[in-house]
Every structure is written in structure tokens, then in C-alpha cells.
Chain A
Amino acid sequence: MKHYLFGLKCVTSYSVLFWLLLNSITLQAQTEKYNMTRGATDISHQVYDLHMAIFYICCVIGAIVFALMFWSIVYHRKSKGAKAEQFHGSLKIELLWTAIPVLILIVMAIPASRTLIAMEDTSKADLTVLVTGSQWKWHYKYMEYPIEFYSMLATPREQIDNLAEKAEFYLRDVDKPLVLPTGKKIRFLVTSDDVIHAWWVPAFAIKKDANPGFINETWTKVDKPGVYRGQCAELCGKDHGFMPIVVDVKNPEEFDLWAAEQVELQAQAKAEAEKAAQQTQSMEELMLLGQKTYESHCAMCHQISGEGLPGAIPALKGSVMVTQDIPAHIHIVAYGKPATAMQAFAKQLTTSELAAVITYERNAWGNNTGDLVQVADVVAVIEAGE
């Protein structure tokens, strides 16, 4: 048997593997494509440094252990006439290779603890944002401003289904980014409306689970304006892969302008909604807005065809719920169905959108009830309360 040849192959193959490992060090220095981002905050720089430090330590340990092993594989083989020695056991050596790793670990534990303690100190924040995850979007509420909004995936369906060319920020773009000022300590309160999500922005070295019914805290302070991207990092159901996070960090002046604009826009929207409640709309108008709203908010689960997913998501096509009692239909869309994936859309959609989408559901896919649901109908149900 040609064990020598096998051994030689063994050595070359491991050398190649090891070369890869070492080479990755230089690769990592060159590009963020293959390494953790250095990020945009003081904390994220510390995290990156810790990551590189422990990585180099691992490489050195690996190099020493594997070098000894391959030395022995090359020279202490029977085909080279090596005679096996029969030594075994040595308390001194055992103690030595227990003590050295302990020392290395202590050296590593000190800076890691220091950074961790800094990361968990959420006191003295300038601005607080409540981040709420729900299947499958993020909601941001500024505690110091009357501003809140949902932030959803903006990548068109055609790109996901390979029917259109994928854009540069494929799956990493949202309709409304979270906007933050530079140079301010921002505290995030993270929670969830349904299952567990995790709010992850690599550039801030923040990853915090959003637990339903509990609030987690974390913070950041960004010095450089820019657009930072992340995504949900905890499996949260079907479209877990489709809930990106985009944070647009602006100078404080620009942030103030943005905030003032948002406050005005949200007030305008409220006034418009009140006005809409007084008006009646035609079937065509309602169906048009309804289809658009349905496709962006409902089709993820109930499907474009209205057929749902058998065994998991009920069909709307031909369903009793959407063809019989109108107030019951409005109620379930507005308040959701507890203990199921059916969310409360009253706070996610405007009353016009609610009226439109309910009309759409009652008349699409051959449901053909002919029912028109006006904003006033929706408002009546919402005002009656949950």
C-alpha cells in the first residue's frame, strides 16, 4: 500500500487549506466583501478590533498545532522507518497546555468585557426610537416627535421572481428608511407585535432581538452621515428573508428639517383622512387603490390569487368572512385575529386604504358581492373600538 503517497497528498491538501486560512487574513484586510464591516460607530470599531484580535489568536494557535501535527505526519511515518516510541503521560506537559490557554483567554476576556459593558450602557440618550418588528416589516416611532411609520421591503416582486433585472440594492431597499441625526446618542427600544425578530444593522454593531411582550434596549452614536443597511436576523416565518432595515443618518440640521417635514406630512395625512371620511367613492376608485393595497400588504400571505396557503393561511376567494357580514370583515382587517398571523391593519393603513382593500376583497376573484365599503363605514367600526 502506498501510504506515503496518501500522506503526501494529505500534507499538500492541508497546506492548501491552511494557505486559504492565512490568505483570508489579507483578503479580510482588503475588502469588506469577505469580512465583518468596521462599521460607522466607535463601538463597531471596537467590535471589529476584538473580532480581528481573536481571529489572529485563533490563526496562531491553529498554525502551531497544525504545524506540529504535519511535522509528525511527514517524519513520524512507518514508511519512513519511524519506530514508535512508547512514552505517554506527563503531568508537567498537561498542566502547561492547560495553563497557557487559560492565560490567552484572560487576555482576551478583559477587552471583550469592557466593550460589552459599554455596549449595554443605554443611559443619557439624546433621542429614543421605538423599533417594533412584525411579520414582515419594521415600525419606527420617535418618542420625542409625533412621528411614526412602517418601513417595508421596496424590491419589486418581479425582481424576486427573476422576471426583471435585480437592482443594486436587491432585497436591501425599503420604502421609508429610519432617519437619524449624527453625533447624538440614540437609544433604541426594541419589541415585536407577533413573533421574535432581530433588528440588525452591522455598521452599528447592533443586533437585538425583538421579543413580543418585552422591550429590549440598545444604543448607537453615528458620526458619519450615510445610508446603512441591515436586515432581520431571527427566523420570523415565511418572509424572514424579506424584511430589510435601512437607516439614513443625516446631519443634525438636515435631520431637524426632515423631522419638521414629517410632522407636517403626518398632520396633513390625518386631515385628509378626516376629509375622506365625509366623501363617498366610486367602485373603480376603491378597486384601484384596493388592489394596490392588497398586493403590498395582504398578498404575502393570502396570495395574489386570494387562495391563501392550504393548511396555513385561509383563502379569501369565496370565503364567508369576506362575502357576508361587512362590519365583521372590517373588524378583522382593522384589529386582526388574536393568536394568528392575521395582523391589526388599523394602524398600518389609512382609513381610505382600509375601505379600498375591503371593497377589493369583496369584489375580486369572483367574490362579486357588489358591496361598496366607504371610509365612513370603516371609521364607524374603528370608533366602536376593539
Chain B
Amino acid sequence: MSTDNSNTLDVNADQQHVDHHDHKPTGITRWLYTTNHKDIGTLYLLFSLTMLFIGGSLAMVIRAELFQPGLQFVDPHFFNQMTTVHGLVMVFGAIMPAFVGLANWMVPLMIGAPDMALPRMNNWSFWILPFSFFILLSTLFMEGGGPAAGWTFYAPLSTTYSNDSTAFFVFSVHLLGISSIMGAMNVIVTIFNLRAPGMTWMKMPLFVWTWLITAFLLIAVMPVLAGTVTMVLTDKYFGTSFFDAAGGGDPVMFQHIFWFFGHPEVYIMILPAFGIVSSIIPTFARKPLFGYESMVVATASIAFLSFIVWAHHMFTTGMPVAAELFFMYTTMLIAVPTGVKVFNWVATMWRGSMTFETPMMFAVAFIVLFTIGGLSGLMLAIIPADFQYQDTYFVVAHFHYVLVTGALFGIISGVYFWIPKWTGVMYSERLGQWHFWCSLISVNMLFFPMHFVGLAGMPRRIPDYALQFADMNAFISIGAALFGLSQLIFVWCVVRCMRKKGEKASAEVWEGAQGLEWQIPSPAPYHTFQTPPKVK
């Protein structure tokens, strides 16, 4: 059904409408007009890889400035633009689109659907993104510079006290939100309607489950973000006082609304990674996932809890004790379903027959390092201690462990896992292992010392620091440079596969592979599952 739609877009292909061979426009129009889930998945993934390097370059500016105390390279205002835009680019440009790209490629293949349910909308939701980021990044080259209030853009720093890049930033976020909501609707409609006969709910691969739950989170909170930035816009330009006490508003209300979006957003960036790792661990352990049902329940519980913990980002902001206690207890509670996930992965590995190809290496690293990030999250839940951790490098270490060695490592392991299916050739195992070891060592040089520098009292978002933090910061900056360089190996790996350099991949690719996506040839044909497969 949906493949018909995709062909009707191409006016020259009327007679090709009926047959389902790989007829498509060539050159740039193929990519502009495409409604094919595989093409769009590829676009999303390449876009997010580009943004990873742009966001990474901004991080390099930050780390260069922090290499030594004193101001060396940039002025503090530009430094603030770097931290702000780094955060926005990585969250909205690198991590989220990468997951949407993986969903586009893999969800239809995993549930036996011929395409995504809403292919034209799919095209639109991708093509909004480059424009949105063009708008955001262009502000860096304007007079007065880009947004500099942090990726969390707390009012009134982002309203009364910001420059005119705010208008561009708000418009850009609105576009991102539209894109995300459409992407999420597409995932939901696809999973609800296009599952192959016999693919019952409790037979769906966990990646499909985690993405389904993520999509509901997206639909619930992206409108909240849109509302927040709209209030920022009207406060700044149209004389409203949502966040201005002088007009009866409240700057802290901004934080409540922002984090009501922001905390589910954090899980939007990790749940699909849980799904990826839950596919990879059983494959390389050659053993079924321990506790599939409890994994589904744990994911749903995490999603539910994510709506009632938002104020733990703002304990120092001043709240009634009762509210503080409530948010402390709910936050601590999240450790329970998260623990269940980790224990289940370990139990899956237990008494398996494991091999350690690159995807498995990244998945194992994910479990260990994400757990470290989770444990520091548990420390942050203890409010009296949080008063000391809040807004220090301890928090920076915490969220980079869950987002870089969590979300990003999850994405990378997924790419190595599925790239033979996408391109038809195996990635170079040698390069993959090099990429893994270089990344593992450098990422820990980069983020592990941040815990200590934060505990010792270094606040985040500062361009210059007191002398006792100097040694650690120099070490961290070296780690950052190495981690950035290590990702070039990844690009090399991916480019080799895209240019079909490498061993030919079989349909099954991995010895322990289970699921529909491994029953179609490699590379996956342009159109798949036009006749629904039967799932036993």
C-alpha cells in the first residue's frame, strides 16, 4: 500500500507503478523526493553523523579554552554560545535523528512491514531538519552571535537578557519539534497497523517496543517544548510576562515547564539504545534475552516515571520541602526498573556462548558505562548531596556517561550490527576494534575525571577556572581530542561499507541472529515484505 504511494510521487514512473522493482529518480532528486523508509533512514543517519562532527567541533572549542586556566582562544560570550549550541546540536541534531534513522531502517524490517505507514510525511519530517539546523547554526555568524543561555535556555537570561538570535533559535526549535512529532506519529502508526500476521505485541523485538514507547513520550512532550519556546518568544518580543516577576510571572515556572519536557526527553534519548542493546546481547551470546516481558514492563515504567521526576533538575531553585521529598523518592525509584534492565542483560550473557565482534564490544561497554552514569544519577537523587553536585562538572560527567557512552555507544553498536544488512558488505572488523578501543579509552579519559573535578567544586559552563582544577582539565581536554579523532575511524568504517569495500555479507550476517530482518538478503532490497511474511 505505502510503496504505491511512494511511486506515485514520481510523475515519470506511472507505468512502473505496478511493478515493484527499484525504479527511482536518480541523483539528488532521488533523495529529495524519496518516500522509501530505507532511503530516509540513510538520510537521517548521515545527517546525524554530520551533526555529531559539528557538535563535536564546538566541544573542541570548549575543551581548547579549558585546557589551561586563563582566557586563551575565545571570549566568555562566545564560550557560552559554544556550550549552548553544542548541547542543542548533540541532543536534537545528533542523538535524536540517529534514533529516528535507525527506526526508519529497522522497524519495518523487524515487524515485516513494506514501509513506514506514512511515507510522504516521513520525507517531510526529515527534510525539515537540515533547514532547522541551518537557521540555528547561522546565528553563530550573525552580529551578536548565537544563543548563549545554555541548551536549557533558562529565562530571563534567554528572554530579557538575550540577543536577537533568540528569534532564530525559537523558530528552529519549532521546526525540530514538528519534525520529531511527525516522526513519532509515523512510528506509532506503523507499529500499530503494519505488523505482519502473527507478529503479536509480545513477539515484537525490544527495539520496536522501546521505540513505540519513545514515540509516545515524544508526542507527549514535544508540544510542551514548543509551548516553552513560544512563551520565551512572546516574553522577549511581545511584552508578555510569563517568566517575569515584574509582570506577575515567575522565572522558575520556566524551569518547571522546560524540565517537564526535558526529563522525558532524556529517556527519549536512551530508551531506543536499550532496545538496540537488547537485540545485540542475545545475538552474540547466542541465547534468548532473559526476561523479555520484564524488559517491556521496565521500559514502560521508566517512561511513566519520567513524567513525575522533572523537578530533580532544579532542587536548588527553591521548593517546599514536601515537593523536594516527593521528587527525591520518585527519582530514586527510577533506579529500580533501570536496574532490572541491567540485571537482565547480565543474565542474558550468563552461560551464553559469547563472541565479541565490534557491535558486542560497544554493547558491553554500553552496559558498564551506562551503569556508571546511572549510579551517579542515583547519587544526584540524594537532595542534600545534590545541593553540592548541582551545576558542577559532576553533573556534566553524569549526563555524558548516559548520553555519550550510553546513547551514542548504543547508536554506534547498532550501526555496526546492522550496516552489513544495509550495505551488503561486512565492515572491517579490524577497524571496528580499533575504533572501539580508541573510543573506550579516550571517552573515559574525557569524562571520568569530570566526576572528581566537579566534586572538588568546579562549576559547569565557565570559560575559566581556579588553579586547583588545572591538571584535571588539561587531562580531560587531551581525552576530548583523542575521542574526537577516534570517531574518524568510525567514518572510515562507514564509508568503506557504503563504497561496498569488504567481505560480502550473508542474509543472516551474524551466527546468532534472530528476527525478520535477518531473513531478507543483504543488502536489503529497495522494497521488502511486499507480501507480508508469516510470523510463527
Contact = CB atoms under 8 A, between A and B. Distances in A.
Interface of A: 1, 3, 6-7, 9-10, 13-14, 17, 20-21, 24, 27-28, 32-37, 43, 46-47, 50-51, 54-55, 58, 61-62, 65-66, 68-69, 72-73, 76-79, 82-90, 93-94, 97-98, 101-102, 105, 108-109, 112-113, 115-117, 119-120, 135, 159-162, 166, 168-172, 194-196, 198, 200, 202, 205-209, 211-214, 216-217, 230-242, 309-312, 339-341
13 contacts: A1-B357, A13-B437, A17-B368, A69-B367, A72-B346, A90-B290, A94-B294, A196-B154, A207-B387, A213-B246, A216-B318, A239-B76, A311-B145
Contacts of B329: 109
Nearest to A21: B372
A72 B332 contact: no
A222 B347 CA distance: 50
B468 A233 contact: no
Interface string B330-348: 0011011001101100111
The residue among B76, B245, B293, B437 with the most chain A CB atoms within 10 A of its own CB is B76
Q: Which of under 10, 10 to 19, 20 to 34, or 35 or more describes the interface residues of B?
A: 35 or more
Contact of A170 (B160, B286, B294, B467): B467
Contact of B390 (A207, A214, A237, A309): A207
B318 A58 contact: no
B384 A72 contact: no
Contacts of A76: 285, 349-354
B508 interface: no
Instruction: Give 6 nearest A-B pairs by CB, closest first.
Output: A311-B144, A213-B245, A241-B462, A311-B143, A58-B375, A84-B353
A341 B77 CA distance: 14
A198 B316 contact: yes
Contacts of A202: 388, 457
B163 A86 contact: no
B328 A112 contact: yes
The residue among A14, A108, A235 with the most chain B CB atoms within 10 A of its own CB is A235
B351 A311 contact: no
Given A85-B352, A241-B463, 5 more contacts: A51-B388, A62-B372, A62-B375, A108-B332, A241-B459
Nearest to A135: B161
A169 B470 CA distance: 13
B455 interface: yes
Contacts of A66: 368, 371
Contacts of A239: 76
A234 B347 CA distance: 42
Contacts of B291: 88-90, 93-94
A87 B317 CA distance: 49
A209 B448 CA distance: 27
Interface stretch (B30-38, B64-72, B171-179, B524-532): B64-72
Given A213-B251, A231-B459, A233-B390, A196 B339 contact: no
A58 B381 CA distance: 12
Contacts of A170: 69, 466-467
The residue among B289, B375, B385 with the most chain A CB atoms within 10 A of its own CB is B385
Interface string B432-460: 01000100110010001001100111010
B77 A309 contact: yes
Given A35-B452, A54-B378, A211 B318 contact: yes
B324 interface: yes
Contacts of A119: 384, 387
A351 B444 CA distance: 55
The residue among B149, B244, B335 with the most chain A CB atoms within 10 A of its own CB is B335
Contacts of A198: 316, 390-391
Contacts of A113: 325, 328
A88 B346 CA distance: 12
A105 B336 contact: yes
A72 B156 contact: no
B278 to A, nearest CB: 12
A116 B343 CA distance: 31
A169 B142 CA distance: 37
A311 B142 contact: yes
B47 interface: no
A83 B353 contact: yes
Contacts of B156: 194-196, 212
B388 A36 contact: yes
A349 B199 CA distance: 74
B321 interface: yes
The residue among B148, B429, B466 with the most chain A CB atoms within 10 A of its own CB is B466
A270 B222 CA distance: 56
Contacts of B388: 36, 47, 51, 202, 205, 207
Nearest to A161: B71
A3 B356 contact: yes
B7 interface: no
B396 interface: no
A98 B468 CA distance: 42
Contacts of B318: 208-209, 211, 214, 216-217
The residue among A1, A32, A36, A90 with the most chain B CB atoms within 10 A of its own CB is A36
B448 to A, nearest CB: 7
A240 B154 CA distance: 14
B157 interface: yes
Nearest to A217: B318
A208 B357 CA distance: 49
B455 A58 contact: no
Contact of A77 (B160, B353, B455, B466): B353
B356 to A, nearest CB: 5
Nearest to B388: A36
Contacts of A339: 160
B452 A34 contact: yes
A365 to B, nearest CB: 20
B336 A116 contact: no
Interface string B149-177: 11000101100110110000000000000
A238 B385 contact: no
Contact of A55 (B251, B361, B379): B379
Contacts of A195: 154, 156-157, 160-161
Given A24-B452, A235-B154, A112 B383 contact: yes
B467 A97 contact: no
Contacts of B39: none
B356 A116 contact: no
A55 B83 CA distance: 29
Nearest to B249: A213
B129 interface: no
A198 B347 CA distance: 44
The residue among B349, B354, B384, B459 with the most chain A CB atoms within 10 A of its own CB is B384
Given A47-B388, A207-B316, A200 B459 contact: yes
Contacts of B69: 166, 170-171
The residue among A61, A78, A309 with the most chain B CB atoms within 10 A of its own CB is A78
A84 B352 contact: yes
B88 interface: no
The residue among A21, A43, A200 with the most chain B CB atoms within 10 A of its own CB is A200
